Amino acid sequence: MVQFSETRLDASFAALSDATRRGVLEQLGRADASITDLAEKFHMTLTGMKKHVGVLERAGLVTTEKVGRVRTCRLGARALEEEAAWIERHREIWEMNYARLDALLAELQSAPQKKPPKKK
């Protein structure tokens, strides 16, 4: 069984829970960008975008580098393998539960129906 780092998973899923941060990751998957560029693209203040990038950075999903006055963002070296494995494991659990439920329903449907007793 795969062991997961709860802290790492918590940070990743917290970072991914926000639509703006998911959008930032998609954008950075296409090309590196400055925080200013990202703020403009997402119609946000620089302060707001810095906070989003900070969450992504703490989760290890984004790295930043400051050269002069420009802070450039790029995807972090760490991919989401651990998170994908966690999701896959839980998908398998749900599928096993659904398969058991399907088997039970099939058994109940194929069982002969008992007729209710006649009223006197």
Would 80 be classed as within a structural domain? no
Would 110 be classed as within a structural domain? no
Least trusted range by pLDDT, from 15-19, 39-43, 74-78: 74-78
CA 59 to chain CA centroid, nearest Å: 12
Give the total number of structural domains in the chain.
1
Sheet containing 70-75: which strands, arranged edge to edge? 33-34, 70-75, 62-67
N-term to C-term CA, the chain: 61
* Closest of 70, 41, 39, 43 to residue 53, by C-alpha: 39
In this prediction, residues 69-92 reach a mean pLDDT of 87
Instruction: Look up the domain containing 43 and give its range.
Output: 6-75
Contact 98, 90 (CB under 8 A): no
Would 1 be classed as within a structural domain? no
Instruction: Say which CATH number the domain at 67 has.
Output: 1.10.10.10
Residues in the chain: 120
Task: Phi first, then psi: give them for residue 65, nearest 5 degrees.
Answer: -140, 130
pTM of the model: 0.72
* E strands in the chain: 33-34, 62-67, 70-75
Would 97 be classed as within a structural domain? no
Would 83 be classed as within a structural domain? no
- Amino acid, single-letter form, for residue 113: Q
pLDDT in tens, 92-112: 888 888 889 988 888 888 877
